[in-house]
């Protein structure tokens, strides 16, 4: 293998060529930016382009040993070059023009994916990413989350400010610990009743009215039900690990006895 020097670092020559090609789009070379890149065994494993005026990421496709790639707030829209990054584990695409996720289909090692504030509406390309642990989809046009039902290792899922109304595809995600649904169209949370590992659930500004499906979620610690249609807090009495509930003041008045019991156990209401 041939090596070359880039920013006083010795790297695989092909990776040096790729970084220099990328530099042509930047105000200053990657190695002179505050975020830059990380090298292990003469290979680039992390690349941070946060806020850079990059639109063509073709050179990035040659950094085949990348494990973390940050494209947050760049001008990127086409992810095709990422098809080659088979070792990628963390990908940040927040506040980009990305809409098509199909190039990510083959990234089987991906564990964390940020897609907040993008043009994404179709998450079906993520169906085969069985190693995903964290998925951020806040402020997107996503409405159908059926493809996420196969992501059995998922632990954290963020769906705030989406068009999601049906959460039944999530009923099999037994490892889910955090689920956020603020400002969605969700009203029925009965599909969540078997998510026994769930620790944090956000339902603020939804049409949820019935909390009874939560009775058996013994690991639930944090719940946000502000600006919902909930009137009865009694299902929360059985949640022995509950630490905090965010509710509207009028709801406290309507459930004084329940609230008193919860506060007596040290729950922040």
pLDDT, tens digit, 9 for 90 and up, residues 199-254 = 999 999 999 999 999 999 999 999 999 999 999 999 999 999 999 999 999 999 99
Q: Which CATH architecture has domain 1-120?
A: Alpha-Beta Horseshoe (3.80)
- 135-269 carries CATH number 3.20.20.100: no
pLDDT > 90? residue 258: yes
CB 37 within 8 A of CB 48: yes
> Residue 252 in contact with residue 259, Cβ under 8 Å?
yes
In terms of Cα–Cα distance, which of 110, 108, 111, 119 is closest to 142?
A: 119
Band the pLDDT of 34: cuts 50, 70, 90: confident
Can you say how many angstroms the Cα of residue 265 is from the centroid of all Cα atoms in its chain?
Answer: 32
pLDDT digits (tens, 9 = 90+) for 22-32: 999 998 899 98
Kindly state the tokens that stand for 37: 């890149």
In the chain, domain spans: 1-120, 135-269
Same fold across 1-120 and 135-269: yes
């Amino acid at each position: 293998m041939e090596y070359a020097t880039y920013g006083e670092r010795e790297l695989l020559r092909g990776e040096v060529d790729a970084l220099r090609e990328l530099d042509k789009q930047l105000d200053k070379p990657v190695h002179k930016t505050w975020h830059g890149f990380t090298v292990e065994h003469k290979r680039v494993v992390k690349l941070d382009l946060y806020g850079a005026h990059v639109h063509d990421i073709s050179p990035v496709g040659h950094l085949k040993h990348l494990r973390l790639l940050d494209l947050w707030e760049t001008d990127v829209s086409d992810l095709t070059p990422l098809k080659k990054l088979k070792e990628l584990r963390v990908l940040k695409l927040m506040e980009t023009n990305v809409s098509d996720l199909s190039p990510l289909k083959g990234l089987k090692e991906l564990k964390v994916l940020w897609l907040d504030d993008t043009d994404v509406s179709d998450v079906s390309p993520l169906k085969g990413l069985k190693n995903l642990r964290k998925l951020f989809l806040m402020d997107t046009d996503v409405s159908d989350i059926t493809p996420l039902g196969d992501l059995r290792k998922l632990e954290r899922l963020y769906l705030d400010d989406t068009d999601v109304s049906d959460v039944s595809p999530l009923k099999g995600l037994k490892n889910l610990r955090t689920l956020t649904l603020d400002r969605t169209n969700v009203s029925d949370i009965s599909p969540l009743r078997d998510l026994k590992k769930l620790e944090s659930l956000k339902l603020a500004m939804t049409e949820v009215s019935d909390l009874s499906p939560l009775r058996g979620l013994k690991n639930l610690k944090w719940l946000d039900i502000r600006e919902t249609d909930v009137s009865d807090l009694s299902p929360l009495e059985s949640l022995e690990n509950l630490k905090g509930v965010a509710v509207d003041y009028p709801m406290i008045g309507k459930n004084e006895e329940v609230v008193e019991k919860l506060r007596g156990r040290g729950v922040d209401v």
